[in-house]
Structure 1
């Protein structure tokens, strides 16, 4: 956990105070999303869903190194090779 400095979470209650204490003991600062703002973490939730559907639901992750390799490849695919999502059927400008 030496690479993680922050853990962003919503206020749903899935994570308890002891969980926050464990993260705090590891040097990770827990950040809460603003109250009554369900879309505050929409980009992160979209990314997590993309990773689950495209990677972790389709393969067995062996260890942390393997997970990092898979995530790097997925991020590269999303950022460089996949066409952007468009609100209309128009082609993106070059």
Structure 2
């Protein structure tokens, strides 16, 4: 199966800096009109990290949204990026937000029994942000 048989045109190929790719490989890709983008220096897990982010973005946002045009896509991705970094909990960092401080622990039993949680919807209800009310 050739790339042309898929009905779409490949523009970029992301690859690591392994020595198994000779200079001829990049030349062949350039002749086919494909731009070769190399991953960062000494970042062997870069592909895995980005694949995880893309998969999460697709599952939580793009699979649930009908994108109308490029402007709408960029707006949705900006909103999702803010949500992902400032509000969405991440298991790898103790369910905290990457760009936010760790929440103060609730030790008062009365406060635990009467939590006042507010929900704010983003992107028409696709994304939900939850916060303790003051």
Range of TM-score over shorter length: 0.5 to 0.7
The structure carrying a bigger strand percent of its residues is: 2
Within the candidate set 7, 10, 32, 2:15 is matched to 10
Equivalent residues of 1:33, 1:40 under 8 A apart: yes
In structure 1, stretches of 5+ residues that fail to align are: 1-6, 24-29
* Structure 1 match to 2:63: 57
The two structures, once aligned, show a CA RMSD in angstroms of 3.1
Against the structure 1 CA distance between its residues 87 and 33, is the aligned structure 2 distance closer, same or farther, given a 3 Å change threshold? same
* Greater Cα radius of gyration, structure 1 or 2: 2
Query: What's the TM-score once normalised by structure 2's chain length?
Result: 0.42
Residues paired across the two proteins, number: 72
**Unmatched 5+ stretches in structure 2:** 1-11, 17-27, 96-100, 104-134
Q: Which has the higher contact order (CA 8 A, sep 6+)?
A: 1
